[in-house]
Amino acid sequence: MGRLIKIHEIDEFSEVKAVPDGAISEEILPNVRNLDEKKEIERFIREFLYDPNETPHGPTEIADILTSHIHIRGEKRLAAFVIKGKSFRRVSSRDVTHQFAKLRQVPDLGLMIFLAVGKIQDDAQRNFVQNAIDAGCDYLIIDAQDCARLLIAYEKICPKDGTPYGE
C-alpha cells in the first residue's frame, strides 16, 4: 500500500468517469469553491456512500468522514476523509497537518482522502502524501475540479453552473 489512486478506482465514485475534465467550466468552479464542508460536501458524500454515521466536529473527531463503505476495485477498505470547504480559500499545511497526523492513529486504515475546494498549497499536499505513506495507506487528493466532476456525476450539483440542487 501507500500509492496514489485515481478517483474512479473507488467503486462508489466510478460514475465520475462520465464527467470529463473539460465539462467543468469557469462558471462551475466558483460555485463549487463556495460549498460548505459539513452541510453540503460531507452530506453529499455520505449520501452516495450510503453511510449515515456522522461524527460530531470537535476535539474527539479524527476525520470528517471515517467509513468502511468504500471499495477499491472490489476490495473493502477503511477510509478517512479530511474535507475543507468554502472557509478555506487556500489550504496550507498549517491548516491541515494536525488532521493528517490524527489519521495515522486509526489502525488498519486503507485509504486517506484529502478533499479541498480551495486552492491546495504544495506544502499541504506534501504533508498529506507523507502521512499516508508513513501510515502505509493508499491516498487520493480531490481538488475543486475533481470534486465538481464527482458531485455532477452523482447529481448533487448542476452541470451548467455548479450550484447544489434544491437551492
How many alpha carbons lie under 13 Å from residue 75 in its C-beta half-sphere? Answer: 8
Q: How far apart are CA 154 and CA 14, in angstroms?
A: 10
pLDDT in tens, 36-55: 999 999 999 999 898 877 77
Which pLDDT score, from 0 to 100, does residue 1 have? 64
pLDDT in tens, 9-46: 999 999 999 999 999 999 999 999 999 999 999 999 99
Which pLDDT score, from 0 to 100, does residue 125 have? 95
| 121 DSSP assignment | P
pLDDT in tens, 80-135: 999 999 989 889 889 888 889 889 889 999 999 999 999 999 999 999 999 999 99
Q: State which fold the 7-153 domain adopts.
A: Restriction Endonuclease (3.40.91)
- To the nearest whole number, what is the mean pLDDT of the chain? 92
Q: How far apart are CA 116 and CA 113, in angstroms?
A: 10
